[in-house]
């Protein structure tokens, strides 16, 4: 059974039992700061288990891409460890529980996979008698094949969230795979008993502090590692030998000129390269990019580790992107979007590889130096500060420094490294103090929301309305009233004010009572459904529980809406012009301009940019209707709505539709029809990091301002060149021509002048011991001019030596040029110039026939020339 077949059979088995097959979620968890990666099949479903969101179907089955890095060092050394792997799972959100999950798992394993019952074992959580009874009485597993285990193995949890006791299915791979120990049994670390499936009985919620509370709806989360099961089905020793990985590994072997299976060390390298390349290929495909922080750092670390193992196999060049292409080829049938993103993925990998090879060259030198220094000083430790510097300035992962140090018999002061890192973080944090402070207030807002209830937002259709003041806050504390001049925060029961989110800036406006007025300059949404108005009382006294008129500044809102709607058009147009790999990486929507960041490698050409601008404007002129509606996520997706990286799981999403052209998940405010955007003008395009580009543009009134500024610029240029704006180009061309004419006239006058000078200078030549010697102070505009004059004079002398000196604004230039015949007689221009230069406080030298020098003291130029005669005379002795 191939990997693909197992995947299909699994999903189909559960589909037949009422489960909805969902596609794998992104490796980047959505809205879950407690974890960096989707590390298990249940991760995307946390809100369903807790009841925070309602799924469309209470039974779901998936094959989920997973990434885990804690065991990175084990990868390739063991038969089973991976950073990237696929997990098959079936889930129940408050629907069935153990009574179905257990018999189904057994049925699948024994009927579909047809694994021999007599080789199967199960484990259960210590006191889970319920599970015991189901396994034994209903399924018929003999008592002695059911092993009770502790919390360390049979309780499953992942950070904050749903968790519970679990039960696992093991297969006995035979005594010959065992460690031979007397105590070898299920749970032993050796290769004999292999866990193939974990059934988690979700019943608790673990909070940030580590407290457990029972969940209202119990659920099921199961996980079966696809690569493992494939190894069992294909009767191979390691996951790397399954069809899922073997082809990729063999391809890597062909690139690195290594045959798998001949040498353990080399096999290890191939396995690491294969595993890590799978991980970075999928992670980059899901929108992660290498960087020095968080998720990006994991990618960087995996990629760099793989490159290093390539170097162990003597690969000096970039190669990982080729392995990645093989990964995509292998996995594309199950993950078709990989193919669409192939170009982007390979580009990111190749660029990062190139960068790392440069870094490696630099860093390896530095580590070699550090190692040598440490050894010389009898030290066995590399200082934490040094390791940090390598990390910070050269992007050298700590692990890599450690590995290289270890190869040299040294260790790294990790504590020192952490200290240095922490110090740097603190610096960064104090720069962000303001936002940190706000986030500390989160607790206070949470309490307020509980007390006051949520804020109803009416701003999609209204710009004004009546509301009640629910709370007034000053410096984070509740007050009953506030006076003119005070800065406050207001909480209303209902508001048309849009709070900054999704890249769109907040509304401005006023909140007005009978005898007071508050100017609102910012609006935030610290929690879902909770809107905070930030403003200043500009007249009167505002009191709690008053009824007020709320007024959003309409023109600003409309400017923002124009820019926001334009970003949707830009997004879609970019995909049409540059390709499907383009994805939004960030955006900023302000009244004056919009900024749109997207994934793309090369700089778009001027033609492409023109085309982008033109297409966006076509869509504006087409006057497409803009509608927004709510629907379920899966419906939105099946309609083809664009979503940001990382899926959103909530029962309802808002979709913004522009004619048949664009469909995007979006919570922002928009124009009613694209024509309201007016006009779209690209203002700049630039790179903001590997594989990410930024467009800035203006719309509507912004375009008018842009045109006005351009016009003003032209009129200033026109004024400066004394022409009317329409004649500017002609005038500038005329000016350029006359500059050219003047320059050539100047040049001819100069050469005339120097010819005349040459004639008069030649008259100064002396004869010393039958040789013509000329040393003179001349005028030349630079060293080049002086040299060509010396060449000319030397030619005129036919046989002899010329020494010239010139004063260029206080800087002295000297040149000496001798004909070949007198060089043979012992004259050396280089030596002459050296001595002459000393007179004017300088130095220099050169060949026997040509030399030059500089000096500082122009007042001694004549003296220097006199010296030249003397030196040459000396050389002729």
Residues near ligand SER (CB under 6 A) are 40-42, 89, 156, 198, 200, 221-223
Of 224 and 490, the one with the shorter C-beta distance to ligand SER is 224
Of 42 and 256, the one with the shorter C-beta distance to ligand SER is 42
Tokens 């220094």 identify what position? 373
Of 113 and 338, the one with the shorter C-beta distance to ligand SER is 113
Of 60 and 851, the one with the shorter C-beta distance to ligand SER is 60
User: What tokens does 503 get?
Assistant: 């890249």
The interaxial angle of helices 226-233 and 243-256, nearest 10 deg, is 90
Of 66 and 398, the one with the shorter C-beta distance to ligand SER is 66
In angstroms, give the least distance from the CB of 88 to ligand SER. 9
Instruction: Please count the CA atoms within 13 angstroms of the CA of 638 that sit on its side-chain side.
Output: 6
Q: State the Rg of the chain over Cα.
A: 38
- In angstroms, the CA 870 to CA 877 distance is 11
Of 158 and 269, the one with the shorter C-beta distance to ligand SER is 158
DSSP structure class, residue 190: S
In angstroms, give the least distance from the CB of 40 to ligand SER. 3
In angstroms, give the least distance from the CB of 680 to ligand SER. 47
Backbone φ/ψ region at 488: left (φ over 0), alpha (ψ -120 to 50), beta:
beta
Q: CA 13, 16, 18, 20 torsion: positive or negative?
A: positive
In angstroms, give the least distance from the CB of 476 to ligand SER. 40
Q: Which helix (H) or strand (E) holds 11?
A: helix 3-15
User: What tokens does 725 get?
Assistant: 């704006």
Q: Which of 421, 493, 394 is nearest to 453 (CA)?
A: 493
Q: Tell me the backbone φ, ψ of residue 845, rounded to 5 degrees.
A: 175, -165
Q: Which residue is nearest to ligand SER (CB)?
A: 223
In angstroms, give the least distance from the CB of 157 to ligand SER. 9
User: What tokens does 554 get?
Assistant: 């309409």
Q: Who's near 476: CB < 8 A, 6+ residues apart?
A: 441, 444
Of 156 and 417, the one with the shorter C-beta distance to ligand SER is 156
In angstroms, give the least distance from the CB of 460 to ligand SER. 39
DSSP structure class, residue 136: I
In angstroms, give the least distance from the CB of 199 to ligand SER. 7
- In angstroms, the CA 830 to CA 853 distance is 9
Helix (H, G, I), strand (E, B), or coil: what is residue 242? coil
Instruction: Please count the CA atoms within 13 angstroms of the CA of 2 that sit on its side-chain side.
Output: 12
Of 169 and 552, the one with the shorter C-beta distance to ligand SER is 169
In angstroms, give the least distance from the CB of 92 to ligand SER. 12
CB-based contact 120:110 (threshold 8 Å): yes
Of 85 and 319, the one with the shorter C-beta distance to ligand SER is 85
Of 221 and 551, the one with the shorter C-beta distance to ligand SER is 221
In angstroms, give the least distance from the CB of 222 to ligand SER. 5
CB-based contact 681:613 (threshold 8 Å): yes
Of 146 and 200, the one with the shorter C-beta distance to ligand SER is 200
Q: How far is CA 823 from CA 200, 701, 817, 835, in A?
A: 95, 77, 10, 17
Q: Which residues share a beta bridge with 768? A: 771
User: What tokens does 296 get?
Assistant: 């990006």
Q: How far does the chain reach from its first CA to its final CA, in angstroms?
A: 99
In angstroms, give the least distance from the CB of 84 to ligand SER. 14
Of 154 and 401, the one with the shorter C-beta distance to ligand SER is 154
Of 193 and 309, the one with the shorter C-beta distance to ligand SER is 193
Q: Which of 796, 793, 876 is nearest to 828 (CA)?
A: 876
DSSP structure class, residue 14: H
In angstroms, give the least distance from the CB of 115 to ligand SER. 19
Of 154 and 563, the one with the shorter C-beta distance to ligand SER is 154
User: What tokens does 774 get?
Assistant: 């000329």
Of 131 and 578, the one with the shorter C-beta distance to ligand SER is 131
Backbone φ/ψ region at 76: left (φ over 0), alpha (ψ -120 to 50), beta:
left
Q: How far is CA 859 from CA 760, 805, 856, in A?
A: 22, 11, 9
Could you list the beta-strand ranges (E) of 368-515: 381-382, 411-412, 456-457, 464-474, 477-479, 481-483, 487-492, 494-495, 509-513
Of 156 and 680, the one with the shorter C-beta distance to ligand SER is 156
In angstroms, give the least distance from the CB of 64 to ligand SER. 9
Helix (H, G, I), strand (E, B), or coil: what is residue 483? strand
Of 40 and 620, the one with the shorter C-beta distance to ligand SER is 40
Q: Which of 105, 102, 55, 90 is nearest to 217 (CA)?
A: 55
DSSP 804-853: EEEEETTEEEEEEEE-HHHHHTT--HHHHHHHHHHHTT-EEEE-SSEEEE
Q: Residue by residue, what is the 3-state secondary structure of 502-533?
A: CCECCCCEEEEECCEEEEEEEEEEEECCEEEE
In angstroms, give the least distance from the CB of 177 to ligand SER. 22
């Amino acid at each position: 059974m191939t990997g693909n077949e197992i995947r299909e059979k699994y999903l189909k088995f559960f589909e037949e039992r009422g489960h909805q097959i969902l596609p794998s979620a992104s490796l980047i968890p959505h809205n879950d700061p407690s974890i960096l990666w989707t590390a298990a099949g249940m991760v995307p479903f946390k809100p369903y288990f807790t009841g925070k969101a309602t799924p469309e179907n209470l039974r779901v089955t998936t094959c989920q891409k997973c990434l885990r890095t804690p065991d990175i060092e084990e990868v390739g050394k063991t038969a089973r460890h991976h950073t990237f792997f696929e997990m098959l799972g079936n889930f129940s959100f408050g629907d069935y529980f153990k009574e179905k999950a257990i018999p189904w798992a057994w049925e699948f394993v024994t009927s579909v996979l047809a694994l021999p019952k007599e080789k199967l074992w199960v484990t259960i959580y210590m006191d889970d008698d319920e599970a015991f009874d189901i396994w034994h009485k209903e399924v018929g597993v003999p008592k002695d094949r059911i092993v009770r285990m502790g919390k360390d193995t049979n309780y499953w949890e992942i950070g904050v969230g749903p968790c519970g006791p679990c039960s696992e299915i093991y297969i006995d791979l035979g005594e010959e795979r065992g460690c031979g120990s007397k105590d070898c049994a299920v749970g032993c670390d050796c290769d004999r008993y292999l866990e193939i499936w974990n059934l988690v009985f979700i019943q608790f919620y673990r909070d940030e502090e580590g407290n457990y509370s029972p969940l209202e709806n119990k659920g099921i989360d199961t996980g079966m590692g696809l690569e493992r099961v494939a190894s069992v089905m294909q009767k191979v020793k390691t996951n790397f030998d399954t069809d899922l990985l073997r082809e990729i590994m063999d391809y890597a072997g062909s690139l690195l000129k290594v045959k798998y299976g001949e040498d353990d060390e080399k096999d290890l390298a191939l396995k690491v390269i294969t595993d890590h390349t799978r991980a970075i290929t999928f992670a980059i495909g899901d929108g992660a990019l290498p960087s020095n922080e968080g998720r990006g750092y994991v990618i960087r670390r995996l990629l760099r580790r793989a490159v290093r193992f390539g170097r162990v196999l003597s690969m000096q060049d970039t190669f990982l992107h080729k392995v990645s292409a093989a990964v995509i080829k292998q996995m594309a049938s199950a993950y078709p979007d990989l193919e669409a993103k192939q170009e982007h993925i390979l580009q990111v990998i190749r660029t990062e590889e190139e960068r790392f090879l440069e870094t490696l060259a630099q860093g390896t030198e530095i580590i070699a130096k550090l190692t040598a220094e440490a050894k010389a000083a009898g030290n066995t430790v590399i200082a934490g500060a040094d390791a940090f510097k390598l990390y910070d300035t050269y992007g050298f992962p700590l692990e890599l420094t450690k590995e290289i140090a270890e190869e040299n018999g040294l260790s790294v002061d990790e504590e020192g490294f952490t200290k240095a890192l922490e110090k740097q973080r603190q610096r960064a944090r104090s720069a962000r103090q303001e936002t940190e402070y706000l986030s500390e207030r989160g607790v206070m807002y949470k309490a307020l929301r509980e007390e006051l209830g949520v804020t109803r937002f009416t701003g999609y259709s209204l710009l004004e309305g009546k509301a009640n003041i629910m709370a007034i806050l000053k410096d984070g504390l509740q007050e009953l009233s506030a006076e003119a001049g005070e800065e406050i925060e207001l909480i209303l029961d209902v508001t048309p004010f849009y709070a900054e989110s999704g890249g769109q800036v907040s509304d401005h406006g006023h909140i007005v009572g009978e005898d007071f007025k508050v100017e609102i300059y910012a609006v935030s949404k610290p929690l879902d459904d909770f809107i905070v108005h930030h403003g200043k009382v500009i007249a009167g006294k505002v009191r709690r529980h008053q009824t007020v008129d709320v007024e959003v500044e309409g023109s600003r809102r409309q400017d923002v809406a124009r820019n926001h709607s334009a970003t949707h058009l830009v997004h879609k147009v970019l995909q049409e012009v540059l390709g499907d790999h383009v994805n939004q990486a960030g955006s900023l929507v302000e009244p004056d301009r919009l900024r749109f960041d997207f994934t793309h490698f090369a700089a778009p050409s001027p033609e492409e940019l023109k085309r982008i601008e033109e297409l966006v404007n076509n869509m504006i002129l087409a006057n497409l209707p803009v509608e927004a509606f709510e629907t379920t996520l899966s419906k939105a997706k099946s309609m083809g709505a664009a979503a940001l990286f990382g899926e959103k799981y909530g029962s309802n999403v808002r979709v913004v539709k522009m004619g048949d052209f664009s469909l995007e998940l979006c919570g922002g405010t928009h124009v009613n029809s694209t024509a309201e955007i007016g006009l779209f003008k690209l203002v700049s395009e630039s790179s903001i990091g590997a594989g990410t580009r930024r467009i800035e543009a203006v719309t509507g009134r912004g375009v008018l301002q842009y045109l006005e500024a351009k016009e003003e610029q032209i009129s200033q240029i026109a004024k400066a060149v004394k022409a009317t704006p329409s004649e500017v180009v002609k005038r500038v061309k005329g000016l350029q021509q006359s500059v050219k004419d003047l320059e050539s006239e100047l040049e001819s006058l100069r050469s005339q002048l120097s010819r005349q000078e040459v004639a008069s200078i030649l008259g100064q030549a002396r004869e010393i011991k039958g040789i013509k010697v000329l040393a003179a102070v001349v005028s030349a505009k630079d060293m080049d001019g002086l040299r060509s004059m010396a060449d000319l004079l030397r030619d005129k002398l036919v046989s002899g030596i010329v020494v010239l000196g010139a004063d260029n604004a206080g800087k002295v230039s000297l040149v000496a040029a001798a004909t070949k015949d007198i060089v043979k007689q012992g004259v050396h221009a280089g030596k002459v110039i050296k001595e002459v230069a000393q007179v004017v406080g300088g130095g220099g030298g050169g060949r026997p026939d040509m030399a030059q020098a500089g000096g500082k003291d122009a007042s001694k130029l004549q003296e220097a020339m006199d010296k030249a005669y003397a030196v040459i005379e000396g050389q002729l002795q």
